[in-house]
């Protein structure tokens, strides 16, 4: 793998970061995968804690392009172990398809991948049900990826779902899967080849049995090791804060906890073990699917951001809705997660945008909302009016800039204003699409 710029005696994010978590701060698609990819080069263990194949990361390694939806990004580091945690909903066929991508790059990748015995199994039936439910909503559709995430989490909550550990006891697995699929047929009037599905999963069980682990014990041992020696744990989120099932713009959210609390419940780790929390912030704001979006642009600036930023979904290919940077979202996100620092991505996309606005507050009925408060209902949020501050724009191509001081003064001021408004330092700045198009700041 290509080496990073020299940063001797430095931990993962320049702080006491033997255990680093990377979270999205907005509505997803912030570009988390790039920083995860960089930090995973030094990680000994990389873990996913939530979601399923409804989030996508695209990585380019040694001129090879990989698109991952389930695999942790650390899988491209041949010295890194990778864990799919208990909070993930796992569609085994998708997982194996992603591993197939890697066979020429690393034929031994499966041996470095571990699956929590408590992770939920997502079946093709869940994907069928997802499509049915979305169609039933018609004009109130949330805009799901139809990957079966919600129905699988629903079965987890109603306690009739299956988990990876069930594959270790095939007679019990057969009974549970037959009961679940019969329930799906009855409830949704769909036809399923139950016996064929059972047989298929017997094959998966044989293939994966050596990779199924008690993830609680695995994480505990890893944390102990990180406290004794040079051993780094990296955790990556799927989706982002504003899509959190509890704290996002409900009901236009995903079906899992995407915030820092989800790390603890999705991996079985105590909160005090986490040393560094990096929030990934796109330099503007995007959203896919339905739901309120206070700073959304419907003019030429929105089109310019979409085209310059290539804002089309990794998972769905859908064009993303684009808008100005939203400071109330970032303040709220920081309240929930307690970020150590920010990684600002796609700053280069703002080059050449002639008018540059930042939303610094919301008003409802002419009254400015309190810092950190975010409306809990769609109805209240739809009444919120963004209060904008105009920033100085810049035209320079910054894609080859290697230090903060080399950035145009206007771009420096944009970053410094973001820090001042949120109270969170910016440690990483993305200035281009390449793997190393990243500026590092505040190195300890």
The answer on whether 314 is annotated among ligand-binding residues is: yes
In a domain, 145, yes or no: yes
In a domain, 5, yes or no: no
In a domain, 7, yes or no: no
Q: Do 196 and 150 share a structural domain?
A: yes
Q: Do 225 and 194 share a structural domain?
A: no
In a domain, 1, yes or no: no
Give me the pLDDT at residue 153, please: 97
- Whether the pLDDT of residue 313 is over 50: the answer is yes
- Residue 320 sits at the vertex; the CA angle it makes with 317 and 322, to the nearest 5 degrees, is 160
Which CATH number fits the domain that encloses residue 348? Answer: 3.90.170.10
The answer on whether 347 is annotated among ligand-binding residues is: yes
**Ranges 6-20, 253-267, 288-302: which has the least confidence:** 6-20
Of the pLDDT bands very low, low, confident and very high (cuts 50, 70, 90), residue 13 is: low
The answer on whether 393 is annotated among ligand-binding residues is: no
Q: Do 322 and 263 share a structural domain?
A: yes
Q: State the CB neighbour count (10 A cutoff) for residue 370.
A: 11
The answer on whether 157 is annotated among ligand-binding residues is: no
The answer on whether 29 is annotated among ligand-binding residues is: yes
Last residue of a domain, one of 211, 235, 269: 211
- Whether the pLDDT of residue 4 is over 60: the answer is no
Q: Do 197 and 244 share a structural domain?
A: no
In a domain, 8, yes or no: no
Longest dimension (CA), the chain: 66
Give me the pLDDT at residue 57, please: 76
Give me the pLDDT at residue 56, please: 75
Q: Do 377 and 361 share a structural domain?
A: yes
pLDDT averaged over every residue in the chain: 92
The answer on whether 430 is annotated among ligand-binding residues is: yes
pLDDT tens string 176-214:
999 999 999 999 999 999 999 999 999 999 999 999 999
Task: Taking residues 76-101, report their average pLDDT.
Answer: 96
Q: Which entry of 69, 146, 156, 331 is annotated as an active-site residue?
A: 156
In a domain, 6, yes or no: no
Q: Do 126 and 111 share a structural domain?
A: no
Q: Do 308 and 234 share a structural domain?
A: yes
Last residue of a domain, one of 186, 211, 236: 211
Task: Taking residues 28-45, report their average pLDDT.
Answer: 90
- Whether the pLDDT of residue 133 is over 60: the answer is yes
Of the pLDDT bands very low, low, confident and very high (cuts 50, 70, 90), residue 404 is: very high
Which CATH number fits the domain that encloses residue 125? Answer: 1.10.300.10
- Whether the pLDDT of residue 6 is over 60: the answer is no
**Concatenated DSSP letters for 24-53?**
ESSSS-S-HHHHHHHHHTT-SEEEE-SB-T
pTM of the predicted protein model: 0.92
Task: Taking residues 119-123, report their average pLDDT.
Answer: 98
Range of the domain at 177: 120-211
The answer on whether 30 is annotated among ligand-binding residues is: yes
- Whether the pLDDT of residue 321 is over 80: the answer is yes
In a domain, 337, yes or no: yes
Last residue of a domain, one of 211, 234, 255: 211
Give me the pLDDT at residue 433, please: 87
Is 176 known to be catalytic?
no
Q: Do 144 and 29 share a structural domain?
A: no
- Whether the pLDDT of residue 319 is over 80: the answer is yes
In a domain, 224, yes or no: yes
- Whether the pLDDT of residue 364 is over 90: the answer is yes
- Whether the pLDDT of residue 14 is over 50: the answer is no
Is 29 known to be catalytic?
yes
Give me the pLDDT at residue 54, please: 79
Q: Do 174 and 60 share a structural domain?
A: no
Q: Do 288 and 241 share a structural domain?
A: yes
Give me the pLDDT at residue 134, please: 84
Q: What contacts 24+ positions apart, CB below 8 Å, involve 371-378?
A: 371/331, 372/331, 372/332, 372/334, 372/335, 373/332, 374/328, 374/329, 374/332, 376/250, 378/249, 378/250, 378/251, 378/252, 378/291, 378/292
User: Are the C-beta atoms of 31 and 281 separated by less than 8 Å?
Assistant: no
Give me the pLDDT at residue 7, please: 36
Give CA–CA dist 416/277, Å, rounded: 20
The answer on whether 9 is annotated among ligand-binding residues is: no
Give me the pLDDT at residue 135, please: 84
Task: Taking residues 325-346, report their average pLDDT.
Answer: 98
Higher pLDDT, 141 or 391: 391
Q: Do 228 and 339 share a structural domain?
A: yes
Q: Do 244 and 107 share a structural domain?
A: yes
The answer on whether 58 is annotated among ligand-binding residues is: yes
The answer on whether 319 is annotated among ligand-binding residues is: yes
Of the pLDDT bands very low, low, confident and very high (cuts 50, 70, 90), residue 37 is: confident
Q: Which entry of 29, 130, 166, 244 is annotated as an active-site residue?
A: 29
Give me the pLDDT at residue 139, please: 61
- Whether the pLDDT of residue 15 is over 80: the answer is no
pLDDT tens string 147-168:
899 999 999 999 999 999 999 9
The answer on whether 366 is annotated among ligand-binding residues is: no
Give CA–CA dist 290/321, Å, rounded: 10
Residue appearing with tokens 């085994």: 92
Is 156 known to be catalytic?
yes
Q: Which entry of 57, 91, 146, 331 is annotated as an active-site residue?
A: 57
Give me the pLDDT at residue 314, please: 66
State how many domains the chain has: 2
pLDDT tens string 226-268:
999 999 999 999 999 999 999 999 999 999 999 999 999 999 9
């Amino acid at each position: 793998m290509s080496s990073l710029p020299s940063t001797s005696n430095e931990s993962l994010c320049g702080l006491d970061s033997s255990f680093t978590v990377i979270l999205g701060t907005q509505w997803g698609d912030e570009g988390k995968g790039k920083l995860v990819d960089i930090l995973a080069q030094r990680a000994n263990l990389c873990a996913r804690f939530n979601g399923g194949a409804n989030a996508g990361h695209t990585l380019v390694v040694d001129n090879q392009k990989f698109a991952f939806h389930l695999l942790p990004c650390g899988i491209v580091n041949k010295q890194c172990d990778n864990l799919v945690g208990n909070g993930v909903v796992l569609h085994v066929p998708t997982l194996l398809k992603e591993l197939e991508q890697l066979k020429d790059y690393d034929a031994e990748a499966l041996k470095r991948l571990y699956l929590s015995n408590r992770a939920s199994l997502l079946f093709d039936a869940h994907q069928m049900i997802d499509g049915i439910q979305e169609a039933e909503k018609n004009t109130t559709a949330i805009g799901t990826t139809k990957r079966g995430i919600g129905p699988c989490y629903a079965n987890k909550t109603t306690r009739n779902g299956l988990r990876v550990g069930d594959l270790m006891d095939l007679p019990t697995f057969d009974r549970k899967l037959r009961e679940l699929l019969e329930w799906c047929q009855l409830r949704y009037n769909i036809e399923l080849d139950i016996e064929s599905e059972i047989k298929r999963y017997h094959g998966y069980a044989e293939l994966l049995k050596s990779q199924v682990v008690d993830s609680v014990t695995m994480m505990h041992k890893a944390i102990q090791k990180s406290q004794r020696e040079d051993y780094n744990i990296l955790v990556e989120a799927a989706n982002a804060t504003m899509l959190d099932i509890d704290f996002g713009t409900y009901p236009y959210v995903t079906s899992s906890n995407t915030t820092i609390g989800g790390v603890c419940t999705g991996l079985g780790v105590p909160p005090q073990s986490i040393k560094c929390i990096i929030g990934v912030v796109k330099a503007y704001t995007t959203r896919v699917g339905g739901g309120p979006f206070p700073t959304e642009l419907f003019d030429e600036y929105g089109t310019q951001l979409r085209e310059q930023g290539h804002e089309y979904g990794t998972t769905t290919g859908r064009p993303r809705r684009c808008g100005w940077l939203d400071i109330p979202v970032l303040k709220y996100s920081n309240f929930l997660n307690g970020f150590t620092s920010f990684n600002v991505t796609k700053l280069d996309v703002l080059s050449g945008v002639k008018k540059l606005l930042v939303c610094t507050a919301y008003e409802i009925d002419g009254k400015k909302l309190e810092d950190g408060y975010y409306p809990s209902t769609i109805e209240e949020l739809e009444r919120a009016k963004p209060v904008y501050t105009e920033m100085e724009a810049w035209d320079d191509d910054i894609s080859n800039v290697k230090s903060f001081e080399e950035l145009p003064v206007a771009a420096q001021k944009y970053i410094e204003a973001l820090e001042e408004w949120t109270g969170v330092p910016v440690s990483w700045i993305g200035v281009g699409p390449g793997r190393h198009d990243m500026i590092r700041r505040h190195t300890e």
